[in-house]
Amino acid sequence: MKNYPVLLLTLLLSAFFVSACSDHDSARTPAPPPPPPEPVFDPQATFRYDTFGDEALWTDVLRYHEVVATISPETALAVGLKVDAEALPPGILETADLTDPATTVALLELDAVVGINAEVAADGTVTSFGITCALCHSDVDDSVAPGIGVRQDGWAATDLDPGLILSLSPYFDDKPDQRAELQSWGPGKYDPYWNHDGISDPVVIAPAYGLRDVALETYTGEGPVSYWNAYVAVTQMGGQGTFVEPELNIEVHADPDLVTPKLPALLEYQHSLEAPVPPAGSYDPEAAERGRVLFTGKAGCEGCHSGPRFTDANTTLHEAHEVGADPLYATRTITKRYRTTPLRGLLQHPPYYHNGEFATLADVVEHYDLVMNLGLFDEEKSDLAEYLKSL
Ligand code: HEC
Ligand code: HEC
């Protein structure tokens, strides 16, 4: 998303002067009208369906309304897009041709593609295309078919390939290097600084659940939920809002601001999303209990993964070397350090560490054993991994 044309429309502010009341008889002066009510935004709908006006990027610049009309549902599912079964009229899937792009357009018209909001004209032409938070932060339960089911808001979209999706835009036709970088990211990853600093170093898409009482969000603890939501909506999704961050040299203004007034609703919704409980049978409870004792004792994990959310982010951040993490991503951010990741729903969102360098929880434990010289026996390692699965 480098070098986007400036998307901002500078609107002239009109100043309104309320002329003074000519009637000086205060007894007869009517009470001033109450201020107009603050608009109320539905928290769930904002998270699921609001594009914040990012059609300015996805339609006007990336021309994604044209791209999507050529993509079959089969291909869309293959790049990790999901279909919301509850938005489908009964029986429609039995007859739908999943190899025909016209079916994609029909699904868009039904508002059934998770994280995408498109307008379709009467003749079947897609006239606008925008994305929502749900694109990267929702999954479906596959209850109808793989990729088709009931929404699971807040779940990390672990098989979505945002880089590949972006790269299909004709905007990159004359930018083969950028297109190749986007295509190198792979499923479940995205780089939210690439369009500013040009470094391609994607991170794992994080879940947006289980964040209540976690003071700082993102792998590097950039700020509270609303700070990051505004950052992403404005600087990544292309939403029409105001976001100013001198430390990253970002200053974007939009009038009207379609992001800022919705931040409280987004915050409320994200804080309502609890991490999924690991399904029965997904871990061995007795081994997990032994692992819990190690976690809080010999293995020393609780020193940083403390409290009900398993993080000390409310008080401190850590240098990359403390946990043997790749320092590059942190150097690109404001804090330059890593947040102790809150441990929640771990089974839902492999791989682990910000850059996904560990495929499994056993790999994470092995890593800690090495960098922290824990001297864990094999059985202790597997107990600790079982405990992590239970979180
Ligand atoms: C293109 C994919 C994408 C979209 C769209 C997106 N995000 Fe994210 N989100 C990410 C990635 C990648 C991260 C991890 C970045 C980091 O931690 O440095 C992330 C991190 C987060 C976090 C921090 C999670 C944590 O553990 O601290 C929150 C909260 C969040 N996103 C909410 C949102 C909201 C709300 C929206 C809509 C305004 C949104 N995201 C849109 C990809 C996306
Ligand atoms: C010095 C503080 C510290 C200690 C001690 C510590 N961690 Fe961490 N942990 C972190 C930080 C910081 C990260 C983020 C690293 C990254 O994303 O690159 C992290 C990430 C993780 C993750 C990955 C979570 C995810 O969603 O990607 C797991 C799992 C984890 N730690 C488990 C443990 C276990 C088990 C122990 C004990 C053996 C432990 N940690 C000890 C600070 C710590």
**For the segment 2-25, what is each residue's pLDDT rounded down to a tens digit?**
444 433 333 323 333 233 333 444
Q: How far, in Å, from the CA of 340 to the mean position of ligand 2?
A: 6
Residue with tokens 């079916």: 103
Percent of the chain residues topping a pLDDT of 90: 88
pLDDT at 362: 98
Atom of ligand 1 nearest to the CA of 339: 27
Task: Name the residue at shortest CA distance from atom 35 of ligand 1.
Answer: 229
Q: Are 209 and 189 in contact (CB under 8 A)?
A: no
Instruction: Measure the CA–CA gap between 331 and 338, rounded to whole angstroms.
Output: 10
362 CB near ligand 2 (under 6 Å): no
Across the chain, how many H-helices and E-strands are there? Answer: 16, 10
Q: How far, in Å, from the CA of 82 to the mean position of ligand 2?
A: 30
Cα separations (Å) of 261 from 40, 219, 241? 9, 26, 9
Q: How far, in Å, from the CA of 205 to the mean position of ligand 1?
A: 7
Task: Name the residue at shortest CA distance from atom 10 of ligand 1.
Answer: 205
pLDDT at 254: 97
pLDDT at 14: 31
Nearest ligand to residue 355 Cα: 2
pLDDT at 178: 98
pLDDT at 12: 28
Instruction: Please give the sequence-ordered ranges of beta strands (E in DSSP) within the chain, or none if there are none.
Output: 83-84, 116-120, 126-131, 138-140, 148-149, 151-153, 189-190, 203-204, 243-245, 250-252
329 CB near ligand 2 (under 6 Å): no
DSSP SS3 for 249: coil
Q: Where are the domains positioned within the chain?
A: 43-272, 285-389
CATH value of 285-389 in 1.10.10.10, 2.40.50.180, 3.30.750.24, 1.10.760.10: 1.10.760.10
322 CB near ligand 2 (under 6 Å): yes
Provide the pairing of β-strand 151-153 with 189-190: unpaired
Atom of ligand 1 nearest to the CA of 225: 29
Flag residues of the chain having pLDDT under 50.
1-26
**In whole numbers, what is the pLDDT of the chain averaged over residues?**
92
Q: How far, in Å, from the CA of 71 to the mean position of ligand 2?
A: 40
Task: Name the residue at shortest CA distance from atom 28 of ligand 1.
Answer: 208
pLDDT in tens, 206-219: 999 999 999 999 99
Instruction: Measure the CA–CA gap between 38 and 269, rounded to whole angstroms.
Output: 18
Instruction: Measure the CA–CA gap between 80 and 156, rounded to whole angstroms.
Output: 11
- Label residues 142-155 b or e (16+ Cβ within 10 Å = b): eebeebbbebbbbb
Structure tokens at 242: 């105001």
Bridge partners of 139, per DSSP, are 152
Nearest ligand to residue 354 Cα: 2
- Label residues 242-278 b or e (16+ Cβ within 10 Å = b): bbebeebeeebebeebbbbebbebbbbbbbebebbeb
Nearest ligand to residue 236 Cα: 1
Nearest to 1 by CA among 206, 124, 165: 165
Q: Are 259 and 46 in contact (CB under 8 A)?
A: no
Nearest to 169 by CA among 59, 268, 90: 59
Q: Is 215 exposed, middle or buried (0-12, 13-18, 19+ CB in 10 A)?
A: middle
Atom of ligand 2 nearest to the CA of 317: 12
Q: How far, in Å, from the CA of 273 to the mean position of ligand 2?
A: 22
- Label residues 167-205 b or e (16+ Cβ within 10 Å = b): bbbebbeeeeebbebbeebebbbbbbbbebeeebbbbbb
Structure tokens at 298: 């010999």
pLDDT at 40: 87
Task: Name the residue at shortest CA distance from atom 36 of ligand 2.
Answer: 301
Bridge partners of 252, per DSSP, are 243
pLDDT at 36: 67
Task: Name the residue at shortest CA distance from atom 37 of ligand 1.
Answer: 133
Instruction: Measure the CA–CA gap between 57 and 102, rounded to whole angstroms.
Output: 24
Q: How far, in Å, from the CA of 233 to the mean position of ligand 1?
A: 9
